[in-house]
Chains A and B, each alone.
Chain A
Amino acid sequence: QVQLRESGPGLVKSSETLSLTCTVSGGSVTRGSYYWSWIRQPPGKGLEWIGYVYNSGSTKYNPSLKSRVTISIDTSRNQFSLKLNSVTAADTALYYCARDFRGGDSGSYLDYWGQGTLVTVAS
């Protein structure tokens, strides 16, 4: 059973960098066709895809966040990470990591999720 767990500071100061790590157990981040995604959810609102990383290190980001986001992967530790710089109160949200299947003749679906971690941006 694949499990994901987010870790990182729950409080970040405005204009600083939010950094989170997702540790994967029960499966390898190097498995083909699986991408590793970050999704966030502001309190009381819907889901927003942030971006993904593949085991090769290739990435894709939400255009609205692209200038501030970096997602990286550490295959030796079976982890992937999110950095979001120049944060504001609008970045306060529950941040989820998830496994994202993107096959050749299939869409995308997120089949395993972490429990989420709340990050609050304080002024």
Chain B
Amino acid sequence: EIVLTQSPATLSLSPGERATLSCRASQSVRNYLAWYQQKPGQAPRLLIYDASNRATGIPARFSGSGSGTDFTLTISSLEAEDFAIYYCQERNTFGPGTKVDF
């Protein structure tokens, strides 16, 4: 069973700054990795699928990269609405999440 590890657990940044979130798999998952954003009281929202493809309607400031075991979600310039928890997912497994806050 694949285990996903996310780092850091919390990322404290300010609007306008660049956010770099990491997801590491316990074994190769090729490029089969997705990223989600979850805000309080809301369902998760798909941001990125297959490691680097933005989902419909996702702003260009969100980008994903990586393959194999190491993946990155980058938010190029944080906006107020981006402060949330971000999860990575590979098929039937979710990572523990990274909280992006002020």
Contact = CB atoms under 8 A, between A and B. Distances in A.
B92 A116 contact: no
Contact of B94 (A49, A102, A107): A49
Interface residues of A, number: 21
B82 interface: no
A96 B94 contact: no
B25 to A, nearest CB: 11
Contact of B50 (A39, A48, A107, A116): A107
B46 interface: yes
B34 interface: yes
A108 B30 CA distance: 12
Tell me what chain B mostly uses at the interface: helix, strand, loop, or mixed: loop
Chain B interface size band reads: 20 to 34
B10 interface: no
Contacts of B42: 115
A48 B33 contact: no
Contacts of B93: 49
A49 to B, nearest CB: 5
B32 to A, nearest CB: 3
Nearest to B38: A47
Contact of B89 (A63, A110, A115): A110
Interface of B: 1, 29-34, 36, 42-46, 49-50, 55, 87, 89-97
Interface of A: 39, 46-49, 60, 62-63, 96, 101-102, 106-111, 113-116
